[in-house]
Amino acid sequence: PDGKGTLEIHQIAAERLAKFPENRHTLNTYLRLLIPEIIPKKDKIIYLDADIIVLDSLQGLWNHSVKNFTLAATADSQVYFGGIALEHFESLKLPSEHLYFNAGVLLLNLKLFREVQLFEKVLTWTEKNSHLMIHSDQDALNAVLAGKITYFHPRWNLQVPLIDPVRFGWGCTQEQAEAVANPAIIHYVTHRKPWYRQYKLPYQQLYFQYLAQTPWKDDPFPPCTFHMHLHRLREELDWCYKWVRSRVRRVLGRHPKPIKGSLLGRTLGSKLGTNH
């Protein structure tokens, strides 16, 4: 009621995660699998990654029903980009009807999580399929729960790589257009994090406004490495290629027309134009 919350810090023994494979992510990413154990008296929670900004009340997300599902999520931005990402999804042997989800924002049914022993199932899957994994427990959760989750509106996990495709009308869906026009949670997936000032990202100034209200406001920012500069250049060239390709396909009549609507048109410029 007073707008304040309680911060609890839990110490987890490293041995609890020792059996999980470590690849491009540290073992810390598996900590979310221990939430039902860490919070034994709760049957439902919202899980949020650290690289997000919340722009709206989470009540709407909380109201999403997970009565018969272990979790609710939204599709990962990679689903819409094709290429290597789709090849990876195929290597995981996911059923065609399953939409690979992003694990950065989750609505968890902890009661069912415990009943189906999801931690143990994910661990077993990773031990057998570590050679297939790129996104650690996110891959494992998608493989184990394929076809067994529910999806919430993408405005509750608007991943930054989706914003430009929607702005440029690259065949976006109505829900994606709504998410960009009225996001509730901005999620900075990939290495392009808002704390790297070299990047110009949507809502980045809002991130610094929130940071200024924390005890860490005067901490030095991490440097942007040479490797990251190269990665950024590759991304920019990739976006240019996709933009040109979309124009060509539009001319040839092989690309869906962008969604038009006064809501999207009015809000994109005001919310994204000055920060992107």
**79 found inside a domain:** yes
Do 160 and 134 reside in the same domain of the chain? no
Per-residue pLDDT tens over the stretch 122-144: 999 999 999 988 889 999 999 99
> In this model, does residue 2 exceed pLDDT 60?
no
Per-residue pLDDT tens over the stretch 150-204: 999 999 999 998 888 787 776 678 898 899 999 999 999 988 889 888 778 889 9
Q: How far apart are CA 135 and CA 68, in angstroms?
A: 26
Do 166 and 227 reside in the same domain of the chain? yes
**What is the number of domains present in the chain?**
2
Parallel, antiparallel or unpaired: strands 185-187 and 52-54: antiparallel
Q: How far apart are CA 95 and CA 146, in angstroms?
A: 7
Per-residue pLDDT tens over the stretch 27-43: 888 999 999 999 999 99
Q: Residue 151, class by beta-carbon neighbours within 10 Å (0-12 exposed, 13-18 middle, 19+ buried)? A: middle
**203 found inside a domain:** yes
Do 113 and 205 reside in the same domain of the chain? no
Do 190 and 131 reside in the same domain of the chain? no
Query: Hunting for tokens 């065949």 — which residue is that?
Result: 171
DSSP string, 157-200: GEEGGGHHHHHTTSS--HHHHHHHHS-SEEE--SS--TT-TTS-
Domain range for 260:
156-272
Query: In what side-by-side order are the strands of the sheet with 101-109?
Result: 44-48, 101-109, 71-75, 150-151
pLDDT at 271: 38
**216 found inside a domain:** yes
Do 166 and 132 reside in the same domain of the chain? no
State which of 95, 118, 152 marks the end of a domain. Answer: 152
CATH number of the CATH domain containing 130:
3.90.550.10
Do 136 and 196 reside in the same domain of the chain? no
**3 found inside a domain:** no
Q: CB of 149 within 8 A of CB of 71?
A: yes
State which of 104, 128, 152 marks the end of a domain. Answer: 152
Do 111 and 27 reside in the same domain of the chain? yes
**9 found inside a domain:** no
Q: CB of 203 within 8 A of CB of 275?
A: yes
- Overall average pLDDT of the 107-111 stretch: 97
Do 249 and 128 reside in the same domain of the chain? no
pLDDT at 100: 93
Phi/psi of residue 172, nearest 5 degrees: -75, 160
Angle between helices 118-129 and 136-144 (to 10 degrees): 110
